A and B are shown apart, each in its own frame.
Chain A
Amino acid sequence: MSDDFPISVAGLNHSFGIGEARKQAIFDVSFTIKRGSLTVLMGPSGSGKTTVLTLMGCLRDVQDGSVRLLGHELKGAAPAVSEDLRRRLGFIFQAHNLHGSLTALQNVLMGLQVHSYGDPQQNYRAAQHALTLLGLGDRLDYLPANLSGGQKQRVAVARALVGNPEVIFADEPTAALDRESGMTVVAMLKKLGAMRGTTTVMVTHDNRILEMADRIITLEDGRIVADR
């Protein structure tokens, strides 16, 4: 089951705040996501899509309901289990979140070192290859401050993909990219799904991507209102 459906969400509820300030953001959300698919979470701002994304990505504790990721129940999971699972994931953030003191190549290397320190030369070649695929072969030694917004985002994509993650969580990954670069990234994610079975869950408002998505889940006010 977990091989075919790496993500399974059932009866998920989530609230923020405590006491009288407590506000429920997610209401009884349930779905499963098929291996190798590209799933888009849509919805207006505040609909809860990012919250669902962070819960699936082991970045928040599950309060109520069930989230199974790669065969592991996340509700009540020990921090070490969450850390181990996160090593099998790739994250692409809306803000690139590159380390300002590291070059493009070094930032991508960080995506490899998390698995094991491994053979430095092999890691170096893999990071260089990932950047070259994203059109940054001539920017390896550039610091983020010397890269454009689109280039930074491509470095962040390379960092997320270089470790061959089983699931990729992406939050508006193409927001900072021009059309061609955006399509290149999404096409790459689709290709990874087809070739390696990499599953992608993406929050986006980009209509260009919707056309390439295998599935679109729409959230409003913390509830699923459409799933197609």
Chain B
Amino acid sequence: MTRLLQWLFGRLPIGWLQLSHNRTRFAAALAGVAFANVLVFVQLGIMNSMAVATLKPYGFFQADVMISASDANSMTEGANVARQWLFQALADPDVTGGAGIFVGNVSWARGEKTLGLTTFGVDPTLPAFLSEAMARKAATLQLQNSGILDMYSRGLPRDEAAAIRPQSPISFEVSGKTLTLYDTFAGGGGFGGDGYMMVSDQTFLTLFPARKSAAPDHILLHLRAGADPDVVAARLRDLISDKSLRIRSYEQAGQDDLSYQQTRRPTGIIFGFGVIIGILVGIVIVYQVLSTDVADHLSEYATFKAMGYRQRFFLGIVFEEALILAVLGFVPGLVVATGLLAGMKAATTLPLAMTPAMAGMVFFGTLVACSVSGAIATRRLANADPADLF
């Protein structure tokens, strides 16, 4: 290692030699940096999973424009929308079709556990508004009181989910009705529910008798090929007389939802703070290590100053140490965090995973944080006075 660094720097790697000289302190420093990395990774992992989980239901459908109520901050929130706006939207020359979707929560009591399923009611005769995977199973939904279930629902044993097939359906009671599940699809538990279920709009209305077919939760629109969804959405905002409606491109609706979850919901804000705290912890740990190291070597630095070494040489030593701590502390942090995220995913079915982008971002952040710590620690170098040596 010493020879490698000497070759890289073109000089003796004083920082490395100082750090590795006191192995106990070095190990503690690396553990501290790794710990800060784990903190950040876990918080980022949860934030990422929130993004994936938020956008997950948008992937069940295909649309260009979505019309929602003014308070519909997410796919599963908000008041209903009058179906008449669907017909009015169809008057636009670029709108080629539309469909209403219903959203509700169904509880499936399974012994001691109850699964909370976010349930979508869709028109099975309009599979074009469903994702390709979902559309292939839409015909099943035409049976009254039938549904297809998210195979990754939290609390649902995998083997039990795998056994749900058209030839071996399972049934359960909801609101006094018997609902039969004929198939599964790939979803995953989110922060608002244990999983998803898809039923026909007619079945949905039997499960939720208070709901009306004339008032879905959202209206999805398809546009003529080549039409700009943002332009059409703007035109529809002028066309439709209810100015309180949120008429956005489907993509924009997903991004708005994501922004809402990350910046306005308590969970998003908490995890965001978690990332900041992790970074601060890392900065404090590295600063403490580096400033102690500088204080311990003041007489040596003063000697080097007397010999004519310039300030940038000492800055180089401190930054060398900061980078070594960043790189060597990052590796165990990455390994531990990857294991933790995998364990948390298994326990929660949340889409938690270590991604290359996340690893790269945290590595870069670690380099920056350690450099900041190093920059602060260099202030102590001013105390190295060569005149004190005599």
Contact = CB atoms under 8 A, between A and B. Distances in A.
Contacts of A98: 300
Contact of B307 (A53, A95, A111): A111
Contacts of B297: 99
Main secondary structure of the interface of B (DSSP, over half): helix
Given A53-B390, A93-B389, A101 B310 contact: no
Interface of B: 6, 10-12, 14, 17-18, 20-21, 297, 299-300, 302-304, 306-310, 386-387, 389-390
A99 B390 contact: no
B299 A101 contact: no
Interface string A8-32: 0000000000000000000000000
Given A102-B17, A110-B12, A84 B308 contact: yes
A97 B389 contact: yes
A110 B304 contact: yes
A159 B6 CA distance: 19
B83 to A, nearest CB: 77
A57 B309 CA distance: 14
A106 B390 contact: no
Contacts of B299: 95, 97
Contact of A117 (B10, B20, B306, B310): B10
Contacts of A109: 12
B299 to A, nearest CB: 6
Given A84-B308, A114-B308, A102 B303 contact: no
A205 interface: no
Q: Which 9 A-B pairs have CB atoms at the shortest separation, nearest pair first? A: A87-B308, A101-B21, A86-B308, A97-B303, A101-B17, A59-B387, A99-B300, A101-B18, A50-B390
B21 A100 contact: yes
Contact of A59 (B17, B309, B390): B390
A114 B12 contact: no
Of B18, B303, B307, most A-chain CB atoms within 10 Å = B307
Interface string A86-125: 1111010111011111100010011101100100100000
B195 to A, nearest CB: 57
Contact of B390 (A93, A101, A114): A93
A20 B201 CA distance: 93
B14 A99 contact: yes
Contacts of A93: 303, 389-390
B17 A106 contact: yes
Interface residues of A, number: 32
B11 A86 contact: no
B307 A99 contact: no
Contact of A102 (B12, B302, B386, B390): B12
Interface in A17-65: 50, 53-54, 57, 59-60
10 contacts: A59-B390, A86-B307, A91-B303, A94-B390, A97-B302, A99-B300, A99-B303, A101-B14, A106-B12, A120-B6
Given A101-B21, A120-B6, A91 B307 contact: yes
B114 to A, nearest CB: 62
Of B14, B299, B309, B390, most A-chain CB atoms within 10 Å = B390
A166 interface: no
A9 to B, nearest CB: 17
A171 B390 CA distance: 7
B308 A54 contact: no
A61 B303 CA distance: 17
A26 to B, nearest CB: 14
Given A59-B306, A85-B308, A97-B389, 8 more contacts: A53-B390, A83-B308, A84-B308, A87-B308, A91-B389, A101-B17, A110-B307, A111-B307
Contacts of B309: 114
Contacts of B310: 83
A113 B11 contact: yes
